[in-house]
Structure 1
Amino acid sequence: MVEIVFGFDFGIKRIGIAMGNTLTGQAQPLTVVNAIDNATRFKTIGALIDEWRPTRLVVGEPRHPDGAEHDMTLRARRFANQLHGRFDLPVELVDERYSSVVIPAKRGEIIDAKAASIILQQYFDDHANN
């Protein structure tokens, strides 16, 4: 059975979203949600979930290069917990500390969606080997 999976690059100002499926194991950028407030953010995400019907959500977990946690690590975990609580879908965290190596340092809407696709692709690659 082919499953749709969403990937998220959480940020305080923007959240990049990617999608992919378990048949191809390929991720692609979908969109960016401007994180004005929680109600608007989750309403927009909810509409995307209703439209695409993913069966799993993947959230990038930022860390320092040495693996140590920082403020954004906790925020990303909280976001993952909120996704699970609001949409009752399985949510997995993926170590994203090396995803920034393959995208430019400049942030922006297109880059955030690409970062989400890198996070989701890492999830697919990690699970293809299991």
Structure 2
Amino acid sequence: MGRILAIDFGTKRTGIAITDELQIIASGLTTVNTNDLLKFLKDYTKKESVELFLIGEPKQMNNTASESEMHIATFISKLEKEIPNIPITRVDERFTSKIAFQTMIDSGLKKNQRKNKALIDEISATLILQSYLYSKK
């Protein structure tokens, strides 16, 4: 069984989370400069067995696509060409950034640590992955 890799895509930074090989535990992996994302994913999938890419799907409250969706669609098109053997699933990511920020508060991080947007992106990717794992049960 391969890992599931979740992507919280952003135009500047992208948070990445990964499961263990048994797909039980979701863990934050890293945050990558979005310009380096495809290279990172190609390198990572050469070293690790990845069975599925989960990509967050940002939506407005009225269920329409957010303005960042066109950037994500462009990225997905490139990803499908570069790594065609790994399927892609989209997951609703509404509120993940807010929940990630609240998680940082609840875990006792100081105010200056909570300004770390890269950490918020990584936690958001982990939340996307956790919600997917829960939905599979």
Q: Does 1:31 align with 2:30?
A: yes
Q: How many aligned positions are there? A: 124
User: For 1:126 and 1:90, how far apart are their aligned partners in 2?
Assistant: 18
Contact 1:59 1:94 in 2 (8 A): yes
Contact 1:83 1:91 in 2 (8 A): no
Give a deviation string over 1:25-54, Cα, whole Å, max 9, x none.
22110011112x3xx331122111212220
Larger Rg over CA atoms: 2
Deviation at 1:80, TM superposition (A): 2.5
Alignment of 1:1-130 (within 5 A): 2-21=1-20, 23-35=22-34, 37=35, 40-88=36-84, 89-104=86-101, 106=115, 108-128=117-137
Give a deviation string over 1:95-125, Cα, whole Å, max 9, x none.
0013233111856111111111111111111
Deviation at 1:62, TM superposition (A): 0.5
TM-score, structure 2 normalization: 0.80
Equivalent in the alignment of 2:106: none
The runs of at least 4 consecutive aligned structure 1 residues that moved more than 6 Å come to none
Contact 1:17 1:117 in 2 (8 A): yes
Contact 1:25 1:125 in 2 (8 A): no
Secondary structure at 2:50's aligned position in 1? coil
| CA RMSD between the two structures | 1.9
- Structure 2: 5+ residue stretches without partners: 103-114
Secondary structure at 2:29's aligned position in 1? strand
Secondary structure at 2:68's aligned position in 1? helix
Instruction: State the identity %.
Output: 27
Contact 2:59 2:93 in 1 (8 A): yes
